Structure 1
Amino acid sequence: MAATASGVFRRTAIERSDQRVSWERTDQAFFSSGACHVLAWTCRDFYPDQDIDLAAMYLGEFERPLHVYARWGPWAFDASGWNPEAELLQVNSDFECLPVREVETISAGLREFCEKHVHRQPHQYWADPTERARAYVSRYAPPWL
């Protein structure tokens, strides 16, 4: 699957206000916008013997990251599957019409990251998305296999 901008799946007002409505979106939509950070942490945990980092993408002058994803070398994993990181950055920049200001390697744990960036922790969703994320990660063979 080609890299797709996370903004393509931006949540509507009702999806932002009703966790169940947000949960009922397709997996790609759910993990593109609203739970990308859960998917990224799950991907890293899914391959504990690989050197997978987590990254936060900042566009323009926004204080909070637009998107979070896992990365291994030149590869990035998000709701679009594995794609070259450069492509993932470009499609998001093009879609938002904003330059990538920074890609930050995340060293914090999931809880700390969520608290700092006002993201939901898994237990704060309509249902814990961790198993859904594991199933999603398992659908995509990493480029090193």
Structure 2
Amino acid sequence: MAATASGVFRRTALERADQRVSWERTDQAFFSSGACHVLAWTCRDFYADKGIGLAAMYMGDFEHPLHVYARWGAWAFDASGWNLESELHQVNSDFEGLPVREVETITSDLREFCEAHVHRQPHQYWADPTERARAYVSRYDPPWLS
């Protein structure tokens, strides 16, 4: 699957207000916008022996990251599957009409990240998305198998 901008799946006002409505979106929509950070941490844990890192993409002058993803070498994993990190940046930049200002390597744990960047922790969703994220990660062959 080609890299797709996370903003394509930006949540509506109703999806932001009602966690169940947000939960009922497709997996790609759910993990593109609203739970990308959960997917990234799950990917890192799923491939614990591969040295997968985590990254936060900042655009324009936004205080908080637009998107969070897992990374391995030149590759990035998000709701679009595995794509070159440069392609992920480009599709998001093109969609938002803003340059990627910064890509921060995430070194904190999930709880600390969520608190610092106003993101939900898994237990704060309508249902815990961790198992859903594991199933999603397992659908995509990682680049080291190519």
2:128 corresponds to: 128
2:39 corresponds to: 39
2:112 corresponds to: 112
Deviations 1:6-45 (A, max 9, x none): 0000000000000000000000000000000000000000
Provide the aligned length of Structure 1 versus Structure 2.
145
CA distance in 1, matches of 2:120, 2:21: 16
1:25 aligns with 2:31: no
Deviations 1:95-139 (A, max 9, x none): 000010000000000000000000000000000000000000000
Q: Give, in angstroms, the shift of residue 51 of structure 1.
A: 1.0
1:80 aligns with 2:76: no
Q: Give, in angstroms, the shift of residue 72 of structure 1.
A: 0.1
Q: Give, in angstroms, the shift of residue 5 of structure 1.
A: 0.0
2:94 corresponds to: 94
Residue type of the alignment partner of 1:125 = Y
Q: TM-score, normalised by structure 1?
A: 1.00
3-state secondary structure, aligned to 1:144: helix
1:4 corresponds to: 4
3-state secondary structure, aligned to 1:132: helix
3-state secondary structure, aligned to 2:94: helix
1:141 aligns with 2:134: no
Identity of aligned residues (%): 87
Structure 1: which 4+ aligned runs deviate by more than 2 Å? none
State the Cα RMSD in Å.
0.2
Deviations 1:44-86 (A, max 9, x none): 0000100100000000000100000000000000000000000
CA distance in 1, matches of 2:14, 2:137: 27
Q: Give, in angstroms, the shift of residue 141 of structure 1.
A: 0.6
Give structure 2 stretches of 5+ with no counterpart.
none
Residue type of the alignment partner of 1:130 = T
CA distance in 2, matches of 1:118, 1:54: 17
2:51 corresponds to: 51
Q: TM-score, normalised by structure 2?
A: 0.99
Residue type of the alignment partner of 2:18 = D
